[in-house]
């Protein structure tokens, strides 16, 4: 094969990879800005409401906002929580929900996307649907 053909193909691949990386960084930056607004205006207030309802029903949960996420954590065990965070490692950044439950020495941890939308398009209903679906094991008696 001619070196000019090889060089053209490899240089084209390098250029395409650089453009893709630049585009991904732009999308991640935009998603980060949307996610900050989502946390402040939607997720944190809603999880505080959920914590209030849980307390009224006899379940002690507290809302924490550790660096770039929001966590609804059981007051009984710091290993029991539901957390929302931004996953910008994919081409399409998304908000994921992470659930962690400790049962004796066994720790169960799951992670799934809240919805297939950008952080700016998520609604209170999306968050409430996720949290309500994940709360079952924490509140069963």
Q: What value does the mean pLDDT of the chain take?
A: 90
Domain carrying residue 62 = 3-139
Residue 137 has pLDDT above 90, yes or no: no
Residues 84-126: tens digit of each pLDDT: 999 888 778 889 999 999 887 888 899 999 988 888 888 999 9
pLDDT at 41: 92
Show Cβ contacts of residue 110 under 8 Å, excluding neighbours closer than 6 positions. Answer: 98, 99
Residue 66 has pLDDT above 80, yes or no: yes
pTM given for the model: 0.80
- List Cα–Cα distances, 61 to 21, 71, 84, in angstroms: 40, 10, 15
Average pLDDT of span 45-66: 93
Q: Which two tokens stand for residue 68?
A: 């770039």
pLDDT at 141: 58
Domain count within the chain: 1
Sign of the torsion formed by the C-alpha atoms of 129, 32, 72 and 41: negative
pLDDT band at 83 (very low <50, low <70, confident <90, very high): very high
């Amino acid at each position: 094969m001619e070196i000019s053909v090889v060089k053209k193909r490899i240089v084209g691949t390098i250029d395409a990879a650089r453009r893709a990386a630049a585009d991904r960084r732009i999308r991640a930056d935009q998603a980060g800005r949307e996610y900050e607004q989502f946390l402040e205006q939607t997720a944190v207030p809603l999880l505080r409401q959920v914590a209030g309802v849980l307390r009224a029903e006899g379940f002690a949960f507290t809302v924490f906002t550790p660096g770039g996420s929001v966590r609804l954590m059981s007051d009984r065990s710091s290993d029991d929580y539901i957390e929302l965070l931004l996953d910008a490692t994919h081409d399409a950044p998304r908000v994921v929900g992470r659930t962690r439950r400790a049962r004796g020495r066994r720790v169960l941890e799951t992670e799934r996307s809240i919805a297939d939308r950008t952080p700016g398009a998520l609604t209170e209903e999306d968050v409430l649907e996720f949290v309500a679906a994940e709360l079952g094991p924490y509140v069963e008696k």
